Amino acid sequence: MVEIELKGWQAMRVLHPRPAVIVISRSEEGKVNGCAVSWITPVNVDPPIIALSLAYSRLTYEYVKESGEATINVLPADAYNAVHYVGRVSGREVPDKLVKAGFQLVPSRTVSTPHIDGAAAYIEAVLRDELKYPDHAILTFEALRVVADSRYFKTVFKEENPVLLHAGGDTYVVKYEYVKASQPS
pLDDT digit string (tens) for 54-75?
Answer: 999 999 999 999 999 999 999 9
The b/e string for 88-104 (b: 16+ C-beta within 10 A; e otherwise) is ebebeeeeebbeebebe
Residue ranges and CATH numbers for the domains of the chain are: 11-173 (2.30.110.10)
Contacts for 158 with CB less than 8 Å, ≥ 6 apart:
151, 152
Q: What is the pTM of this model?
A: 0.92
Using CA atoms, how far apart are residues 79 and 86, in angstroms rounded to an integer? 11
Using CA atoms, how far apart are residues 148 and 123, in angstroms rounded to an integer? 9
Closest CA to 122 of 44, 40, 21: 21
Give the chain's mean pLDDT: 92
Stated as kind and residue range, the H or E segment containing 116 is: strand 115-116
16: pLDDT confidence band, cut at 50, 70 and 90? low
- 15, pLDDT greater than 80: no
Q: Three-state SS for 9?
A: helix
